[in-house]
Chains A and B, each alone.
Chain A
Amino acid sequence: MTTFVQLTITGLANGAVLALAALGFVLIFKATGVINFAQGDFLLVGAFAVWSFVVQVGLHWTVAVAAALVLAVVLGVLIERLVLRPMIGEDPVAVIMVTIGLAAVLQAAVQMIWGVTPRRLPEFIPHGVFRLGDVTIPQDRVFAVLIAAVVLAAFSVFFTRSRHGIAMRAVADDQQAALLQGISVRRIFAMAWALAAVSAVIGGTLLANLTGVSGTITEIGLLVFAVVIVGGLDSIPGAIVGGAIVGLLQQYTAGYIGGGLQQVVPFVVLVLILLVRPYGLFGEVRIERV
């Protein structure tokens, strides 16, 4: 029983971070209909940027995160302007491949600037444990869950309440209709990429706290695909539930079956979900059957 509770708690905590990592992916897909294969690398760039500002520049971590956020906005807008905008209206397969190329460029840039040695972020989240009977709950995970919850809630409110958020949903729904309403589709696209980069900085920093700053983050970034497919590509609640499901699945397989099976289980589930319900649990039912 203790094991079960322990696995559940760890799974949920990992799931929250995964949901946050998936958020940027959902944002971009929601607004622009682009599948961003570079999301994992966005996370990595975010984590390294924060590490650089804290360790190399010596800023306080709040300032460092703020600086990294500004950098993320610039990077997001630049990528949208230079790489994605020329691809508007192209075959979806070509757009996917462009983001794959983008992922390679980002990865190469990270290697050139920061090298391949894993780094440690200085601890700015408490690292102790809470005890509940036999169950231990690492404090850093509790904080990760809290931060993830706040950010996800903020984005949900943004999408339902703010002018820009609603404009973004309008663009996602129908670009021409949105243009007729006087919404600048270009600006919305740029904003979506900037916001995705911003969420990646937060997600990357949290991941870096749990795993260290290294290429592992990109691998975790690939789990994002499982999260968004389970939850639905265009749904923020879906990302949260999908994150929880993938997190729990991984923990249960690791705890009860073992043998490294937890690395592959998310992808098996992904294929099964794709075959049965491709739009996920919460996604909009719009998939084309062939």
Chain B
Amino acid sequence: MAAITTGVHHRSYESELRLRHTTAARVRLALAIVALVAIPFAASPFWLSVLDRIGIAVIGAIGLNILTGYTGQISLGQGGFLAVGAYTSGLLVAQYGLPTLLAVVAAVVFTALVGAFFGLPALRLKGLYLAIATLASQFIIIWVVRNWDAVTGGTASLVVPVPELFGFQLSSNFRWYWVILACAALATMVARNLFRTGIGRAFMAIRDQDIAAEAIGVDLTRYKVLSFAVSSGFVGLAGALTAHWRLIVTWERFTLDVSILYLAMIIVGGLGSILGSIYGAAFMVAVPAAIDRVGETLQGSFIDRQLPAIQLGVFGVVIVLFLILEPRGLARIWQRMKDYFRLWPFRY
């Protein structure tokens, strides 16, 4: 790259379709990989568990972003879909003795099916009506989980055995880190490539103008249901990982608050941006954890006593501020920072 470039110019379709266009982008990717490999060796046990949670949240946030950010279908049912994934995988292992890997795959498929079913209202509804319909699906799913005693064990918690993968007992956060990192990397790559295919482009066309999309030959019915299914598949993976990582599944982990937390992640990170989902998930998991840490060091103080309330309040304030001040989220802020340095000393 020359000292001063006027932008990235493509001379062929292959070059435009490439995921990374510049040397700088490739260098950043290499640095990120080095950092991701090095971090677990330096992190304390507490932050290692936070990293694991971030990894799981990244998968869930990418899933929600596919639906809300890329296809424009708001969903308040994220918590419910996470529960479907967690219970499916947890039950298959704990009750029926399936290998963990198989159970997780089954959970992904089953959650995708459930998501497609609850996505059916999206065929006739959009915007605020869809938000209310998905809110209802959240309550219906959690109600089923709590009351279907014979299968889910009702309000009692489901205990999952420590999983084994390729002969390794996944008993420490350190070992889990690599598994979760691999899953998150896979999810990122699948999602990133999805939007280079016809399916992904169809999703974005629906978001930008559904009627125009229909006019140019996008089958709305098919792609809306497909978007719910694909998104729920990711969410199911996140749910299944939560179940095996925590070794315990209770319905309280999948309430409406969780749906809101995930919405906050993609708003803060950036709607319609895979990288944004990662930033948002990291932000929304790491900040409460940091507040937690501060609370612990200040035992008995105001912050310690009010911890849950402060965390909830921070979510709310962050959602409101980002929507008002930077609706395109951290991904956009990062883009502006890159542009600033790339164009320096010129403003634009």
Which A residues lie at the B interface, using CB under 8 A? 35, 83, 86-87, 90, 92-94, 96-98, 100-109, 111-112, 222, 225-226, 229, 259-261, 263-264, 267-268, 270-271, 274-275, 278, 287-290
B interface majority secondary structure: helix
Cβ of B227 within 8 Å of any chain A Cβ, yes or no, is: no
Which B residues lie at the A interface, using CB under 8 A? 68, 72, 74, 76, 120-121, 123-129, 131-133, 135-137, 139-140, 143-144, 146-147, 210-211, 220, 256, 260, 263-264, 267, 306, 308-320, 323-324, 327
Tell me the minimal C-beta distance from B12 to chain A in angstroms.
Answer: 35
A94 touches B327 (CB 8 A): yes
| Bound CA span A102–B323, Å | 11
B140 contact from A100, A107, A267, A287, Cβ within 8 A:
A267
3 A-B pairs with the lowest CB-CB distances in the bound complex, closest first: A104-B316, A101-B319, A108-B313
> What number of A-B contacts does a CB cutoff of 8 Å give?
136
Q: Which residues of B contact A83 (CB under 8 A)?
A: 320, 324
A290 touches B316 (CB 8 A): no
B309 touches A108 (CB 8 A): yes
B313 contact from A109, A226, A287, A289, Cβ within 8 A:
A109
CB nearest neighbor in A for B220: A290
Tell me the minimal C-beta distance from B306 to chain A in angstroms.
Answer: 5
| Bound CA span A112–B302, Å | 10
Q: Which residues of A contact B140 (CB under 8 A)?
A: 264, 267-268, 271
B320 touches A274 (CB 8 A): no
Tell me the minimal C-beta distance from B36 to chain A in angstroms.
Answer: 30
**Given that A108-B309, A264-B140 are known contacts, is A275 also in contact with B128, CB under 8 Å in the complex?**
no
| Bound CA span A259–B150, Å | 14
Tell me the minimal C-beta distance from B70 to chain A in angstroms.
Answer: 13
A-B contacts, 26 of them at CB < 8 A, read: A35-B128, A93-B72, A94-B327, A97-B74, A97-B267, A98-B320, A101-B264, A101-B315, A101-B317, A105-B317, A105-B320, A106-B316, A108-B309, A111-B309, A112-B310, A225-B132, A225-B136, A226-B136, A259-B147, A260-B147, A263-B139, A271-B137, A274-B125, A274-B133, A288-B126, A290-B125
